Amino acid sequence: MSILSLKSLFLSTLIINIGLIHPGLTDDQFIFGGGYPDLGIFPHHAHLQIYHDSHLYVCAGSLIRYNWVLTAAQCVLRFDNIQVYLGLVNREEGPIQHIVAVDKADHVIIHEDYNPPSVLSNDIAMIYLENAKPEWLDHPYVGTVDLPQNINDNFVGQTATATGFGVTSDDVGAEISMDLKYVDMPVITNEVCAQTFGNVITESKLCTGTATGSTCAGDEGSGLTVEIEGIRTIIGIGSFRAAIGCTLGHPAVFTRVTEFVDWINYNVQNPPNGPPTDDTCVCDCVCHTCPASGVKEEL
């Protein structure tokens, strides 16, 4: 079984301004230059293994409720089975707290206006974990990340963190990382980002500088997070990078979560198998967040 990069499938037509190449990063700064997190530092991270037509694709996601994972639409556009790993920091040694198999098409919700392959607008999807339990969040290695409460914040100038098991170089045949890695990156303006990617950069996208590292192939769907008053909040979903590589200093591009908070909350309120139950966390379009316990809020 081969592991194929989603980058090669969806980003081959991406046009960039190669006149803005920056000096290459040093060997220890490839992809997640920040390092290796301890267990429980990023408990929201979900490792996704997508099986389709005898191939295995690797992506990332973020646990936003005990039974919902937020990821990129490109990751789940086609699948036979999705394995969702929670509480994982090493793909060989674990520890793995929970593995959820998703094989029902209606348990994967892709944004209705997603338009691959060249522009990747509305690159957002949600995975419903039918058999997940609220008590999973009692474990220190599994937890949720909050949605942004201020949907008007563009986060420019803030330091954001991405996590993933993506490849660690641009070398041909590079393998995905055995260990979960993270990198801190500054959020930059869309105007600066557009100097590299042109009119592909719309209001629904968010960009980061990559001088200290970057997301790379295999990190599609990864959550870009910031801490707001001590609460880790997801502001981006890994979407794409420059087609010529992730180690040359070009911006990394994410789906801007603030543009989709209402869409996310609508789907949480309307799970695939019917009306919300008492143990389903529900929010209206004002609060934007739910209790970590997963207790239902009255609308």
Q: Cα 4 to the chain's mean position, in Å?
A: 18
Rg (the chain; Cα; Å): 18
Tokens found for residue 228: 């707001």
Confidence of residue 23 (pLDDT cuts 50, 70, 90): very low
Question: How confident is the model over 187-238, as pLDDT tens digits?
Answer: 999 999 999 999 999 999 999 988 877 777 678 899 999 999 999 999 999 9
pLDDT at 6 over 90: no
- Which domains can be identified in the chain, with CATH numbers? 16-37+146-258 (2.40.10.10), 45-144+260-269 (2.40.10.10)
Instruction: Give CA–CA dist 292/299, Å, rounded.
Output: 17
Which residues share a beta bridge with 143?
none
Determine the pLDDT at residue 248: 66
Q: What share of the chain is helix, strand, coil (3-state, %, to 5)?
A: 15, 30, 55
pTM of the full structure: 0.80
Neighbours of 59 (CB within 10 A): 26
Neighbours of 1 (CB within 10 A): 7
Instruction: Give CA–CA dist 245/133, Å, rounded.
Output: 39
Neighbours of 250 (CB within 10 A): 25
DSSP string, 102-147: E--GGGEEE-TT--TTTT-TT--EEEE-TT--GGGGGSTT----BP
Give the contacts of 138 (CB within 8 A, at least 6 positions apart).
Answer: none
Between 276 and 140, the more confident residue is 140
Determine the pLDDT at residue 20: 26
pLDDT at 275 over 50: yes
Instruction: Give CA–CA dist 73/77, Å, rounded.
Output: 6
What CA–CA distances, in Å, run from 105 to 169, 219, 227, 274?
33, 23, 34, 15
State mean pLDDT over 65-77: 95
Instruction: Identify which of 31-45, 89-103, 248-262 has the greatest average pLDDT.
Output: 248-262
Instruction: Give CA–CA dist 238/216, Å, rounded.
Output: 9
Determine the pLDDT at residue 28: 34
Instruction: Give CA–CA dist 169/245, Å, rounded.
Output: 8
Instruction: Give CA–CA dist 193/254, Å, rounded.
Output: 11
